[in-house]
Structure formats: structure tokens, C-alpha cells
Amino acid sequence: MGMCLPCFGGAADDVVVTPDPETRRQQLAEAAEKRQKETAYRGVKNPEAVERKRKKQEETEKQAMTTSVSGGGGLKWQVG
């Protein structure tokens, strides 16, 4: 029976303290963001270049939409 007592003495050192809910929520959110970034750029060597290219393409599309809406400078159909 005296053999079990030393086991209980070290049990207090092995207890893992869980962080408060707000800290835990923040850690989980950061981990989720990291996973999303990793899966979005899986197989891409330079994700920054891909992001720049995507933004540039969006800008050109946006510019094309504004010019086509505002002016009549596009193709004109002729019937007859």
C-alpha cells in the first residue's frame, strides 16, 4: 500500500491547464485561417504572385464593366 503514495505526488505536475474560452476560441480561429490558406494555395509555389494576378484581373474586369456601362464605345450591330 505504501508503494502507491509516490504515484500521487507527481500527479499534480502532469495536469494540463486549459486556456480560458476566449483564448481557446482565438487559437481555433487562427488555426482555421491557416488551414484555409494552406488549402487555397496547395501546389502553388508563389501564392503572392497568384494573389497579385487575381487582383489585377479583377481590376481589369471592373474597369471593363465601367467603360461598357458608361459609354457606347464597343461593338455596334448593324441590321439590314
The whole-number pLDDT of residue 10 equals 55
Residue 28 belongs to some domain of the structure? yes
Residue type, 9: G
Residue 42 belongs to some domain of the structure? yes
pLDDT at 50 over 80: yes
DSSP letter string, 17-61: PPPPHHHHHHHHHHHHHHHHHHHHTTT-S-HHHHHHHHHHHHHHH
Rounded Cα distance, 55 and 77, in Å: 32
Where does the pLDDT of residue 14 fall: very low under 50, low under 70, confident under 90, or very high at 90 and above? low
Q: What is the pLDDT of residues 17-39, one digit of tens each?
A: 788 999 999 999 999 999 998 88
Q: Distances from the Cα of 70 to the Cαs of 1, 14, 53, 74, 78, in angstroms?
A: 91, 70, 26, 11, 21
The whole-number pLDDT of residue 74 equals 64
Number of domains in the chain: 1
Domain that holds residue 52: 21-65
Task: Give the whole-number percent of the chain exceeding pLDDT 70.
Answer: 72
Residue 57 belongs to some domain of the structure? yes
| 23 CB neighbour count, 10 Å cutoff | 10
Residue 4 belongs to some domain of the structure? no
Residue 10 belongs to some domain of the structure? no
Average pLDDT, the chain: 80
